Each structure stands twice: as structure tokens, then as C-alpha cells.
Amino acid sequence: MKTMIVGLATAAAQGQIAACADYMGVARSVATAADVPELLELHRRAPTDLVVVDLAFIGADPVMFTSTVRAQSPYTEVVLTGPISPFTASRAIASGTNALVCGLGTETDQLTASVARSIILTFPGAVRAAAAIPVQAMRPRPNRLTPREVQVLRAMSDGKSNAQIATELFLSIDTVKCHAKRLFRKLGVHDRAHAVAEAFRSRLIC
């Protein structure tokens, strides 16, 4: 199975991702780091297939960070998340960054939802299989989401803010918040990362 290290700027975000990875059945394959030195040391000891970091977590030049990771293991893919200027983005790609999830806000829920989707895309088989184990089979099936709630959930999985979702779907921000509360309740979750994970496991989104 593939492995990945996730670096997010806050303890709250790190905790959400660790819990989300456990929820999806891939906790042994997803490590979280509290800071850049710890991440690089984890990667030096056991190079992973993927490194996903929030730009705020790096706190320095993303080009230098990517170059350091790739020097440790040229086959590791690096994904950066968060707002980034076009100039810095082009330099990051030139240095070996494999993907940029740009244009996101800095709210914890937005970032962790995007990282949760990265986990899902990296371990699709394991995440789907986790839904079949007995403890998960005992969970009630999510109530059916409306088409609009599915649209909101898809946008959340892309790391979009309530304001961005409202603009994209021609809704008010308050209406987006209402849809979010309803879909959270139907899925039996309390944050975006777990909503994205549960929706994928239940095949509400792919």
C-alpha cells in the first residue's frame, strides 16, 4: 500500500486528518508531522509515496522544501495546498512540485477537506474496503442527500469556502451554511473532512 505524510499548520488540522485517516481505515499509511523538521526526518527514515503540505505549514520557500524532499527521495510526489502567487507556483512546479491545490482559504475545514480528498484518491481501495468491515456495517446508512446538497458536498471536497460555493451555485452564504448543516446531520459527521470521507465511502461522490 502507498504511504503519505501530511503537514498542516495547526494542531487542530493535524488532529482532524489523523482522525479522518483512522476513520477511513488507512491510519497506518498516513503520518502527520507537527513541523517541517519532523516531516523531513520522518521522510528521511522512511521515504513515502506522497507528501501533502499546507503552505502555511512550510513557513518558508516552497521551492526549497520541495527540493529537499525530492533530494531525499526523487520518486516522492509533493502536493502543496493553500493560496500561492502565480510566480511562486511556477517556481514550485519547476522545482519538482507535482500538484498545487491553489485558491483555497486558510480555514481549517477547507484545508482538511482537501487533504481528506487527497487521502481518498491515494488509497481508494482501502477506503472503500473499510466500509465493509463489521463495525462500519453497523453504522446507519446516510439519509439521501438532495441534488443541491451533493453539489455543496462536491465543492467542499474541492476545498472551496462557503463564499466560493455560494458564488459558484448562485446561492447566498446563509443558504450554503444551511445545506452544509443538513448534509452533516444526514451523514452523521461534524466537519468537512469526515463529510467527504463518509460521502466517498457511501458512494455519494466519487
DSSP assignment letter at 141: P
Non-local (6+) Cβ contacts of 55 within 8 A are 62, 80, 81, 82, 83, 84
pLDDT above 50: residue 130: no
β-strand partners of 52: 6, 79
Contact 184, 149 (CB under 8 A): no
Give the pLDDT confidence of 173-194 residue by residue, as tens digits.
899 999 999 998 888 888 888 8
| pTM of the model as a whole | 0.68
| Strand blocks (E) in 66-139 | 77-81, 99-101
Quote the CA–CA distance of 101 and 117 in Å, as a whole number.
11
